[in-house]
């Protein structure tokens, strides 16, 4: 019986010594795994941050390009509208000049006023 108790105590002491040796090693391994995982997270965060900055720069450039294209389109539209207004004004001047010439022709020869109606082919 005494031998059994001694064997049990020896086994417990061996287990305690093993626990004292193994537990710190296991904790160190767990800490190392956490450190490696943290390092991997930092690397991934850096990579994602770089990708995000690149994507943001590309998006900002695309938005700037769209604004430039819209401004160019607005300038072209304004130029075309200005040109149309100039052509309209020129057509109005031509119409006024034609009316003035027709009135002058009528004043010079009243018989031409009945035939002229603005149609130069009727003579």
CA atoms within 13 A on the CB side of 116: 17
DSSP annotation of 123: -
Please report the pLDDT score of residue 117 as a whole number: 55
Please report the pLDDT score of residue 113 as a whole number: 67
pLDDT average, residue stretch 37-61: 97
Q: Contact at 8 Å (CB) between 48 and 42?
A: no
What CA–CA distance (Å, rounded) separates 65 from 73? Answer: 12
Residue with tokens 């850096």: 46
pLDDT at 68 over 70: yes
pLDDT average, residue stretch 89-104: 95
pLDDT at 19 over 90: no
What CA–CA distance (Å, rounded) separates 88 from 96? Answer: 12
């Amino acid at each position: 019986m005494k031998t059994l108790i001694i064997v049990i105590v020896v086994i417990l002491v061996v287990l305690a010594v093993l626990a004292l040796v193994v537990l710190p090693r296991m904790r160190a391994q767990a800490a190392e795994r956490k450190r490696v995982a943290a390092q991997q997270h930092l690397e991934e965060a850096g990579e994602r941050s770089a990708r995000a900055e690149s994507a943001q720069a590309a998006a900002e450039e695309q938005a700037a390009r769209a604004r430039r294209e819209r401004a160019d389109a607005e300038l072209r539209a304004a130029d075309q509208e200005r040109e149309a207004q100039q052509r309209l004004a020129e057509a109005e001047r031509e119409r006024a000049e034609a009316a003035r010439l027709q009135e002058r022709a009528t004043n010079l020869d009243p018989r031409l006023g009945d035939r002229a109606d603005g149609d130069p082919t009727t003579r």
